[in-house]
Amino acid sequence: MLASKPIFYLFSNIYDGVNELVAIVDNSKCTGCETCVNECPASAIAIENEKAKVDKEMCVDCQTCVDICPSEAIVVE
C-alpha cells in the first residue's frame, strides 16, 4: 500500500511545468492565516487582499495545504 505519492511524482510535475491538478482556495472560507503560505513546499501560495492565492504554474499538487488549512478552505481539483 502506498502511504503517499512517490517523490518522483512531485518532481516530474515540476519539470513538466504542467499540472493537471492544482490547489484552489475558497475565499469565503479563507481567513488569511498564512499557514498554507508557510507550509507549501513549492512556495506556490501568497496572500493577496487577505486571502490565499495559489500560483497554478508553481503548484505541484502535493495536497499539503489541503491537509493543514484550519478552515478547510483549499481543495485540489
Binding interface with ligand SF4 (CB under 6 A): 23, 25, 30-36, 40, 42, 44-45, 52, 54, 59-65, 69, 71, 73-74, 76
Angle, CA of 54, 68 and 18, to the nearest 5°: 35
DSSP state of 4: S
The backbone torsions φ and ψ at residue 68, rounded to the nearest 5 degrees and listed phi first, read: -100, -10
Q: Nearer to ligand SF4 by C-beta: 16 or 34?
A: 34
Specify which residues 46 forms β-bridges with.
53
CB of 62 to ligand SF4, least distance (A): 4
CB of 1 to ligand SF4, least distance (A): 22
